[in-house]
Amino acid sequence: MQQITSTLGLKEAIRQLEEKIDFEGVQLKMDFESAFKSLNPFNMLKGTFEKAASAPLMLENILGTVMGLATGFLTKKIVVGKSGNKLRILLGSIVQYGVLNYISQRSDTLKSIGLYLVESFLRKKEKKNN
């Protein structure tokens, strides 16, 4: 920055700095609004689903994880039941975690088995109707 030697130069430097502050303030406000909108839970979910729809592999991973969560939850409910026993609850959580990992890692195999069972069930039903 150059040295200011007159009051006119000082006023001009102050005006330039005030313009810079105003511009940066507007930019900061716009950045804050953008960040706030992106942190909105609805927008986060919307963005996640848009990305998942554009990437089939990601969608399969999400479905595998959801299958794992659902089966893990059901397994825990079966193991624990209505029991208030802390040891049984701990055992249920461990089993839930194990089932979740197993199912989410092998979701393709389980989907294939499920489709086979459904198709074979439908074939048997068609044979009975004929």
State residue 120 phi and psi, 5-degree precision: -65, -35
Number of C-beta neighbours around residue 44 at 10 A: 11
Higher pLDDT, 14 or 81: 14
- Tens digit of each residue's pLDDT (9 = 90 or more) over 76-88: 888 888 777 888 8
Continuous H helices in 40-85: 41-54, 56-80
How far from the centroid of its chain's Cα atoms is residue 34's Cα? 19
Higher pLDDT, 19 or 51: 19
Interatomic CA distance for residues 119 and 70, integer angstroms: 23
Percent of the chain whose pLDDT exceeds 70: 79
Check if the beta carbon of residue 119 is closer than 8 Å to that of residue 103: no
- Tens digit of each residue's pLDDT (9 = 90 or more) over 40-95: 777 777 776 666 666 666 656 666 777 777 887 888 888 888 777 888 888 888 88
